[in-house]
Amino acid sequence: MPRRPDPTLKPAIIAKVARHLQDTKVEDASVRSLGRVLGTSAYPIVYHFGSRDALVDAVVDHLCADEDRLLAPDADPDALAEHLLAVYGRLGTPERLLAVRLTFELGCVEGLDGRDRQRRLHRHRVAELTAWCRTHGYCDAEADRAARAAVDAARGAQWSALVDPEHADVDTALLAVARGLAADVRLAAA
């Protein structure tokens, strides 16, 4: 009879691989090399995750757990600001920066192998902001335009933090995005 898998092994693998990816490009991480990082063969990775890509996705999910929040369409402007900070900001820890870096790395190449996880997440974020804008008085076309611009600005602020961290203030940029959406709500209502 085969042994039952150790339930603590999967989270331990994710944590150790996350630490390893702090200073390793995703493209340089193979199942075999990650097995060496774990001090074992590739078997536990294949057994628990199926592939390197699935393991990296699990690392991103682990690092982005705080981002798994929804923005209620009727949320007030303060809740909107808090949502943008929780999803796109607060990059003061190595783990949050790694999550952003991996999101960019994976999103840039996923279309080459038929994957669309990051595109679906991007569209989800646009849709939730579009719903917020509609609920707060934007017309349909303007709600979609404003939501796309807000997500683009948030991702741009994250990109700045990755490539020019000395001159990036992501949280301030995100608060400006929230203030802009709220100000446009007041204009739409007037």
Round to the nearest angstrom and report the end-to-end CA distance of the chain: 72
Separation of alpha carbons 132 and 111, rounded Å: 29
Question: What per-residue confidence (pLDDT) applies to 42?
Answer: 87
Lowest mean pLDDT among 11-20, 23-32, 87-96, 179-188: 179-188
**Which band of pLDDT confidence, cut at 50, 70 and 90, is reported for residue 115?**
confident
Q: Which of 136, 137, 132, 162 is nearest to 147 (CA)?
A: 132
**Which band of pLDDT confidence, cut at 50, 70 and 90, is reported for residue 177?**
very high
pLDDT digits (tens, 9 = 90+) for 22-44: 999 998 999 999 999 999 888 88
Question: What per-residue confidence (pLDDT) applies to 188?
Answer: 53
DSSP, collapsed to helix, strand or coil, labels residue 31 as: helix
The arithmetic mean of pLDDT across residues 104-133, rounded, is 92
Question: How many C-beta atoms surround the C-beta of residue 52 within 10 A?
Answer: 19
Task: Answer whether residue 189 shows pLDDT above 90.
Answer: no
pLDDT digits (tens, 9 = 90+) for 62-87: 988 766 789 999 999 999 999 999 99
DSSP, collapsed to helix, strand or coil, labels residue 183 as: helix
Task: Answer whether residue 186 shows pLDDT above 70.
Answer: no
DSSP per-residue codes, 112-174: GGT--HHHHHHHHHHHHHHHHHHHTT--HHHHHHHHHHHHHHHHHHHHHHHH-GGG--HHHHH
Contacts of 118 (CB under 8 A, 6+ apart): 103, 106, 107, 110
Separation of alpha carbons 39 and 89, rounded Å: 34
Separation of alpha carbons 61 and 68, rounded Å: 9
pLDDT higher at 190 or 25: 25
pTM: 0.87
Rounded to whole angstroms, what are the CA distances from 81 to 160, 172, 173? 19, 10, 11
Question: What per-residue confidence (pLDDT) applies to 147?
Answer: 98
